[in-house]
Amino acid sequence: MPSPLDLNLGAILIGVLLSSVLFGVVSVQVYVYFQSSFNDTKRTQLLVTITWIIECVWTIAIWIFLYDIMITHYGDLGVLVFPHWALTLTSIANGIMGCIVQGYFAYRIFVLSGGLIIPIIAATGSALQLAGCFAMGILGHPLPVNVFASRYAWVITSVVVLDLFTDTLNTAAICYYLRLSKRDITSTNRALDILFTWSIQTGIVLSVTALIILIFEQTLEGTAMWISVSLFYGKLYSNTFMASLNGRNFLRRAVLDKTMNTLDTTTAISEGPNPAIRVNVQKTTYREDVIEMGSMDGRSKTFTKQSSEGELV
């Protein structure tokens, strides 16, 4: 059986370490984003900057929290019971990051579908979870952690359920509309297949993590297990957000690389035993708005690349 030390101090230590790793990953992604040649609007660039600032302040705060409980109050397990401002900040940061990313995916649904019903439902669920996270931070600050978890367990459960609902709705809607968006343009369909896979993977990671928090909160009362997961939960959202933005270059390369492979194959097939003329024409067309989906700049256009090769023998 794990000791109380394992389920409290050990759990928080692991949570802080995982949170720090994810902050490092999102920092690299932010650097890659600003080094890339994206023509995003100032609004998107500002959102990326705000995301990194929140993550940076949050990471510093939880390291201060870890230092307090492991160094300043070394050997005093009772310190884990008392409220700490870093936990209040963690609750608020989780809510803000969840709201940003869930709103971002709701916008992507609007881009794909052109409808407002599902985006409004998703945005409402996101706003409610943000309000719940602020409530957790405000209500929990003056109370011991175990007292708060017991008295306001319904608030914690409501926030996690709202996250689960919103993430599941966003994932299901995006996958549905991606399938509907398929057309006769092979390159566009290839990009849509990649986006479909990414959406499924993202939804699974976020939903499973939220479910773990809910299970820990319901079954391991009086421990810091659910708090340890919440220390890095919001960073999954920020990494998802940045991966979606940076993934656009990968989508373009995947489309164009496949085009070049097709061109090479066509050339080999076109050569007969005694060819008099060898001509290869390759035309690739894909919808740029599929690649740029969710960049918040409202662009919608079609990109065409054509190459040809001819030889007189």
Residue ranges per domain, the chain?
A: 4-254, 270-312
Q: Which of 40, 22, 24 is closest to 246 using CA atoms?
A: 40
pLDDT at 289: 46
Give backbone dihedrals phi and psi of 280, rounded to 5 degrees, phi first. -125, 130
Q: How much is the average pLDDT of 190-197?
A: 74
Q: Give, to the nearest 10 degrees, the angle between helix 11-35 and helix 42-67.
A: 150
Q: What is the pLDDT of residues 206-265, one digit of tens each?
A: 889 999 999 988 888 778 888 899 999 999 999 999 988 888 777 777 666 554 444 444
- 114 Ramachandran zone, left/alpha/beta (phi>0; psi -120 to 50): left
Q: Which of 193, 172, 189, 38 is closest to 108 using CA atoms?
A: 172
- Asked if residue 167 lies in contact with residue 207, where contact means CB atoms within 8 angstroms, the answer is yes
More confident residue, 289 or 71: 71
Please give the Cα distance from 159 to 93 (Å, whole number).
13
Residue 62 tokens read as 């939880």
Q: How much is the average pLDDT of 144-154?
A: 82
- Asked if residue 129 lies in contact with residue 95, where contact means CB atoms within 8 angstroms, the answer is yes
Q: What's at 293, amino acid-wise? A: M
- Asked if residue 54 lies in contact with residue 111, where contact means CB atoms within 8 angstroms, the answer is no
The answer regarding whether domain 4-254 maps to CATH 1.20.1070 reads: yes
Q: Which residues contact 288 (CB under 8 A, 6 or more apart)?
A: 299, 300, 301, 302, 303
Q: Which residues contact 113 (CB under 8 A, 6 or more apart)?
A: 119, 173, 177
Per the DSSP assignment, residues forming a β-bridge with 28 are none
Give backbone dihedrals phi and psi of 307, rounded to 5 degrees, phi first. -135, 150
Q: What is the pLDDT of residues 290-299, one digit of tens each?
A: 445 545 554 4
Asked if pLDDT for residue 10 goes beyond 90, the answer is no
